[in-house]
Every structure is written in C-alpha cells, then in structure tokens.
Amino acid sequence: MGDCSWELSDYEILAEIGQGAYGKVYKAREVRDRQRLVAVKRLNISEDPETGIPQFMIREVALLRKLEHYNHPNIVKLLNVSAEWQNQIFDLTLVFEYIDQDLSTFLSRASEKGLARDTIKDVMRQLFSGLDFVHTNTVIHRDLKPDNVLVSSRGEIKIADFGLARIYTNHIALTPCVVTLWYRAPEVLLHSSYMSSVDIWSAGCIFAELFLLRVIGVPGEKDWPIESAVCYSPSWAEKKPTTQLLPNLSHEENDLLSQCLAFNPAHRISACSALAHPFLTCP
C-alpha cells in the first residue's frame, strides 16, 4: 500500500505535505457535506509494553481538546480525532483546518523590500493574542517558531503543533530539550527552570525575524541564573554598546522587541501586556 493510498471514511487524501519522526501530515478533502480542505496528521508507533503510548501523543490531544472548547481565532482548529491499534501499531489521526502556508513560507514570498510595518504589527498582534489565550489556560507551547505559525489566505495567524506543549505551574523544572534551537530562550539553554516566558522569547525572535535580524548582546552577571550549570564569566561583559542591525526601528518597535528578548525571564513582557503595548495599540 502506498503512502497516500489510505483513506479515512470521511476524507480523501490529496497529497503529503509534511513528515516527522512519528508520522506524516496530509492535505485532504472532506468527501461529504462542505468538502472543505483539511490537514490530516497521522502518527503511528509500534506497541511497546514497557513504555506504552508516547506521552507527547496523549499530551497533544489533551491540550488541543482543552483549547478547542474556546474556539480561539489564533489557534489552529482541531476538527476530529481517531485512535486505534492495527497489527501492534498505535495509529493516532488528528484532523485540523487546512491552512496553506506557514510563516516561513509567508516570509519567503515577501518582497525584497521586506514586510510593511502594518503587516508586522498585524502578525504580532494576532500571535500575542494566541499566546495570551494559551498562557491564560496554563499551557506553554514550547516550540514556537515560524514553521508552527500558520498564515491563512485572509491573513489570519494561527498557532499550531502542540506536540511539545505542557500544562505549567510556577517555575517547574522541565526538560531542556524543547524549542527549536534558534528560538530557544536562555533559561532553557542554561538548563534552568522556566515558564510561559519561554514562548515570549520565541515570539521576540519571530518579531525580530520579521524585520530581518538583531543582536541583543551578552547579559550582565546579575541576570545570570544562579542554578545554571554554566558559570558566568566577567570576560563576557561588553566593552561597548552592541551594534544595532535594525537602526530604523521606531521607539515603540524597539521597546517591545527589547522587552520580549529580555535575558532575565522575570523582566520579559507577558503576552497580555504586549497586546497593550503602544506599538500594537497605536494606529
């Protein structure tokens, strides 16, 4: 049987659009009613009596079920779930609304002149709105990056892929092997405790990426986490201000970006406060 020859009773598989360690994602169409396009994420793993069903599979479904009740416009919609055992293989199928591009693709198609500031403002307002909703429901996404931020043809921003997401309490010690490296907060890199502010750092990286690049320099010793296995070195202290690679940022843009990328997570802005920041509220 070929990779795309299988068919759920309600969906016609059209093409494979993604692949991961445990399965694939397909573009599909409903065969009844609206015949809308959907994304079918099919995960499978061999049964292991010692470990059972991987926790990330259970966690992703549980968190999506928790979030879907509120039908937030900036969270990708989960439409259907099915799970079954076939020949000692656990098969989990998640059906989502179909969005034809992610933020990486969106950026690759942008003009050489870059994105308009109004577009950047709209993207970040929707991204922070989604994060505020997620964090209000005590969830950390833990893998926020352009590949996991979807952009619809109508400009709607939707956070997707909750495979690494977790329910959190204050400053719990969690695995450091989360968040794609380029978007990973310093406290995660330093194996320190962390909370929802890790998502804000990732959002700040995305914000900077919308403008191209930015260097934020080395932190001071007072901001270095005490529990880190990596000791702070005074030799890291900067001798002069970091060169700004984005000299054309307005005061409001620079202020919000700096608050997202504060090295100390306690000084990092929250998604709720970001939504009230002048950059996102002023016309």
Percent of the chain with pLDDT over 70: 75
The predicted structure's pLDDT at residue 101:
93
Q: In what order do the strands lie in the sheet with 37-46?
A: 11-19, 23-30, 37-46, 89-97, 78-86
User: Two tokens at 228?
Assistant: 């880190």
Q: Is 143 a catalytic site residue?
A: yes
Cα of first residue to Cα of last residue in the chain, in angstroms, is 55
What is the three-class DSSP state of 113? coil
Strand intervals (E) in the chain? 11-19, 23-30, 37-46, 78-86, 89-97, 139-140, 149-151, 157-159, 166-167
**More confidently predicted of 69 and 178:** 69
Burial 217-249, CB ≥16 within 10 A → b, else e: eebeeeebbeeeeeebeeeeeeeeeeeeeeeeb
Least confident of 18-27, 118-127, 131-140, 218-227: 218-227
> Does the pLDDT at position 3 exceed 50?
no
Angstrom CA distances, 52 to 61, 86, 174, stand at 16, 15, 21
Q: What is the pLDDT of residues 33-86, one digit of tens each?
A: 778 999 999 887 766 645 566 777 777 888 888 888 889 999 999 988 887 777
8-97 against 101-280: fold identical: no
pTM of the model: 0.81
Q: Which residue type does 123 have?
A: V
The predicted structure's pLDDT at residue 219:
58
Q: pLDDT grade, residue 165 (50/70/90)?
A: confident
24 is in an annotated binding site: no
**Nearest residue to 174 (alpha-carbon basis) of 142, 137, 143:** 142
Of the candidate CATH numbers 2.60.120.10, 2.160.20.10, 1.20.120.160, 1.10.510.10, the domain formed by 101-280 belongs to: 1.10.510.10
The per-residue pLDDT of the chain, averaged, comes to 80
* Cβ contacts of 21 within 8 Å, gap of 6 or more: none
Long-range contacts of 232-235 (CB under 8 A, 24+ apart): none
Catalytic annotation, pick one of 143, 161, 199, 223: 143
Q: pLDDT grade, residue 5 (50/70/90)?
A: very low
> Does the pLDDT at position 236 exceed 60?
no
Percent of the chain with pLDDT over 90: 34
What angle (nearest 5°) sits at the alpha carbon of residue 75, between those of residues 69 and 77?
60
Sequence spans of domains, the chain: 8-97, 101-280
CATH fold of the domain at 8-97 = Phosphorylase Kinase; domain 1 (3.30.200)
